[in-house]
Structure 1
């Protein structure tokens, strides 16, 4: 499926979704959540009572708003749907069930990574892909980003979600690259 675009004067993705993301009169919107440019909507088919989730990607530039819509049965590669919407879906399509579990898994892993990052101490050496980083400090109170020094001495801010949980466990000095 492609992108549907048109020129409009909306202030935000939330406002765009409110006015543009609607199904026919055979469906009722129950819930909606906006995460960046991703819009998660829970609809109910009035005739059957089936509840399902749609995912709309929204972009805008120079007054042109574009969207790409899909539903949970497509197994979209966007996993930021909040739990309060996930639990209300009654769609039993295997791809939809798998997609909802991936959304939950992403949230569980994010929580584990933030907890691991909170346990780091200044000077701990951690892994980021094949590179060793020296942890300096948490960039923000939520610890969703951390500041580290590379082996070359450069200092960068890293989103914690880009790490694998095991990378946030401090490396002991005696560990070699083959043990990582």
Structure 2
């Protein structure tokens, strides 16, 4: 399975692509889509075009996106939400299924501590994907989102879903 992880941002959106085969997680690509300081419509266009290019280049089967947290600055939160909306629209337009994870879930899955710092996330991404160096922060966060999804997708819930079963309130349904 090829997973595209995305860490949305109003000025810099990180992306990371990994391949998953059994227990193996392999790095494919990562980088950043920079929207610059233009108007909101210009930044939305840059995100739409950037995500479309990443999808066309790497052909992911699913996208995993980090959910926006509520910031103390309402204007920053609104801008981040608009960027995230543009990312989701681009992924929907590309026909990709989308999974969403909070920053806490991503850090817990990758580092084992939901309150880990950015440097710890970067170092764990480097180790888990056997990279020669720590990726740029936004790209590392996006790779961490992809890794978190790879753990979730390969878990017991995914195996049960393949059998047409789900777990509700601790019981098989």
User: TM > 0.5 between the two?
Assistant: no
The answer to which structure has the higher helix fraction is: 2
For this structure pair, what is the TM-score category when the shorter chain's length is used for normalisation? under 0.3
Q: Which has the higher strand share?
A: 1
Q: TM-score, normalised by structure 1?
A: 0.26
Q: Which one has a bigger Cα radius of gyration?
A: 1
TM-score by length of 2: 0.27
